[in-house]
Chain A
Amino acid sequence: MKKLINVLSTAAFGSAVALSLSVSTAHAQEWPTKEVRLVVPYAPGGTTDVLSRRVADLLKDELNANVVVENRPGAGSTVATGRLARGGRDADHTILMASPGHTIGAAIYPSLAYDPVEDFLFIQNMLDIPNVMVVPANSPYESAVEFIEAAQDNNMSFSSSGVGSSIHMSGELFKTLTGSNMTHVPFAGSGAALPALLGGDVDVSFENMPTVFSHIQSGDLRALAVTSEERSEFLPDVPTLKEIGEHNLDQLVTTAWFGLIAHNSFPEEAFATMQEALQQVMEREEFTNFVEQLGGEKGTIGGDEFKTFVADEVARWDAVAAEAGLRQE
């Protein structure tokens, strides 16, 4: 038994040393007084992660402080977001890269322990990526209207990167607004979903622009419409669903957005410093190039405007989730 205690204490001590390696303290008067944690609520490798690392890299120069990216994946993005909502000691130096998962998660799980709008401070939306309505090259449909008219009589299938993804929810929204018959076919990520679309196993998808852009260029996929407010400069010939307008499509404007949020106790001074620093970051050439390569556009809203946007999104997805029977009590 004594031996066991020895072992456990050695292990515990070692773990403590190892864990504390990542925590350092610095002293200064103005915010930030120590390193800033940028929480990514997803595993490494996705758009949120890549964007966050790019932003953290540029933010370091603007804040003159270390910005540490921390991945905290789990249950969509709700594990990390729930943790942020609880506040705690480091809440004044913690920011989180929120994305559609923030609002969709709240719609699907109404019993979440946090309020997706009131518990947070919305700093700045950094990036908007449109979704593209794409069909396989050999699909008979040349326009969104043709597709809808066919889908009102026949059952169509649409693929997504998983239940509750922005791709899935865009499809559900499209289905509800247009009264189409569509079956959702979920895959484990966009990488796995793409072959089914290219091979014609599914009829349509509302994929993120970066995933399908090269396939549209090469002619393997046909873009019928983009879901953004205005046409994308990358696909200038492709209409927006909003401008098509028929079948309630004027109501279908949705983008994958990525923006920084903090706990609602985030100090005012820190909020102002962050907003200023992020404006500088967004003006940097590196950031502009990065956004272009993703086929997206820089975010334009921050503060209260950003908050209103998120509140509207929550309400919208809430209705879609209820309609599609996705709400998990």
Chain B
Amino acid sequence: MENINEVLQLFLATENFIAIAVGVLVGVVVGSIPGLTATMAVALALPFTFSMEPVAAILLLVGIYKGGMYGGSITAILIRTPGSPASACTLLDGYPMAQQGKAKKALQMALYSSVIADFISNIALIFFAAYLAKIALNFGAPEFFWLICFSLTIIISLASGSMIKGLIAALLGILLSLVGLDSVFGSQRLTFGNYNLMDSISFIPLLIGLFAIPEIIEFYRKKIVPHIRAKASGAGVSLAEMKRSLTSIVRGSLIGVIIGAIPGTGATAAAFISYSDAKRRSPHSERFGKGEVEGVAASEAGNNGVAGATLIPLLSLGIPGDVITAIILGAFMVHGLTPGPILFQENLPLIYALFLGIMLSSVILLFVGSAAIRYFSLIADIPKSILFPIVLMFCVYGSYAVNNDTFDVWLMLAFGVMGYLFNRTGIPAAPFLIGFILGPMFEDNLRRSLLIGSNDLSIFVRGPITWFFIALTVGSILLALYRFISARHKAKQAANEPEANA
């Protein structure tokens, strides 16, 4: 009872509510600006938290994190420029929806899906932290290796249309991901002596170039001002669409939770895995990539599912899974608190006050997000002849802001040309991105496993988690093969039937 009082006392401070609200708001705005990521905002906000109470300080940072995760989707949907890497997947369906005059629907679905995923992620954090943390600790390099293998098989579904073009895209992504320093020997790979490339190709300029620039080139190439469609204030998400997408949202959230609980994978991969999973299960998978609202839902569920779950290894083990949680760890330490098992023994009321605040942040995200949609969706109504120069400015500034370096601006423009060529030749961008993100993880974990196991291959089958993911990988490949063969069979039958009739 005494504890409950203490928790409420810690939680019910006005400062906490202000911190959450300001955090989420800042997060949404910063997240929506290309090149300004939630990571940067959290780092910049850190000094302000030094003088705050610990609970408010952490909640401010968590608020920015969560707001930023959603905010990235706004510009991804409206101007095909992902505000943050994790929302790259959202634009695959979000932008086509905006073009069809369904910007509001896409933005709302992104918000609802984000909030639901966030909520599920929080529940996982509060009730299953200890259990999930244990799984995370048993997740070594070989387990990681198989998880990546499984993820790679799921994304076969992203290469729909032409399998060859999909493979070209994926391999090109892997090739470009090799640029930089070798992770084991430190030697330079494909950098051509350029020190700017030593830290590998920056992801944000790549994303901005790949998606935003081709739209701008296309617009000026056609030299016609396209018909401005109905107001973006169009219809919102209907109950039927929500119902239809709910399974994908819940599955995506759970994928996000698992990926988030394991340090080192990240929200971008979670979004793509969730998206591919939804596409594979959907009865109308052909609509994905052309403006399917369920695609937006799955992608946002995947990346927001990560947000609460990354706090699991942080709070229960003291292990930061990504840069943002590393900064939050710093904030804990500045206040003389050390996340980990001891924090749970010594500062339990504080942990529960934090949990209450984190739950509240989901609710506030709903309100802030709704307000943001009202204003941001106006962007969809701006004539493109005015909008696109502004977008180009943000592309330049956003690419520059990542490392404060003009090299990244040139990189962004080069990827813009590549993205344009992709569009003209029908090479899909999604497998390219997957190759770029998962390729290095595949390589690093393969090599790490071999180093840990002194080149003994039995390390790859060392325990139940590896067996589980091997089974999933094999099953997933077999399923894809079965679908491929039966589709061919059907096509053949369809081709034969008219002949038989004739």
Contacts and interface: CB of A to CB of B under 8 A. Distances in A.
Interface of A: 3-4, 6-8, 10-12, 14-15, 18-19, 43-46, 49-50, 53-54, 56-57, 70-76, 78-79, 82, 108, 155, 157, 162-164, 183-189, 191-192, 194-196, 198-199, 201-202, 210, 213-215, 217-218, 220, 286, 289-290, 293-294, 326, 328
Nearest to A293: B333
A44 B44 contact: yes
Contacts of B333: 210, 293-294
Interface of B: 39-40, 42-44, 46-47, 50, 136-141, 181-188, 195-196, 198-199, 216, 220, 223, 263-264, 313, 317-327, 330, 333-334, 336, 338-342, 388-390, 392-393, 396-397, 400, 403-405, 444, 448, 451-452, 454
Contacts of A328: 186-188
Nearest to B334: A293
Given A157-B451, A198-B137, A188 B183 contact: yes
Contact of B392 (A7, A46, A215, A290): A7
B136 A195 contact: yes
Contacts of A4: 220
A163 B141 contact: no
A111 to B, nearest CB: 9
Contacts of B321: 191
B263 A195 contact: yes
Nearest to B139: A195
B223 A3 contact: yes
A74 B199 contact: yes
Given A72-B405, A198-B317, A108 B334 contact: no
Contacts of B313: 195
Contact of A217 (B184, B317, B342): B342
Given A53-B47, A74-B403, A3 B393 contact: no
A10 B388 CA distance: 10
A187 B440 CA distance: 12
A184 B136 CA distance: 22
Contact of A185 (B46, B263, B323, B452): B452
Contacts of B141: 196, 201
Contacts of A217: 338, 342
A188 B444 contact: yes
A180 to B, nearest CB: 15
Given A43-B323, A72-B403, A191-B325, A7 B264 contact: no
Contact of B454 (A155, A186, A189, A196): A155
Nearest to A194: B319
B264 A215 contact: no
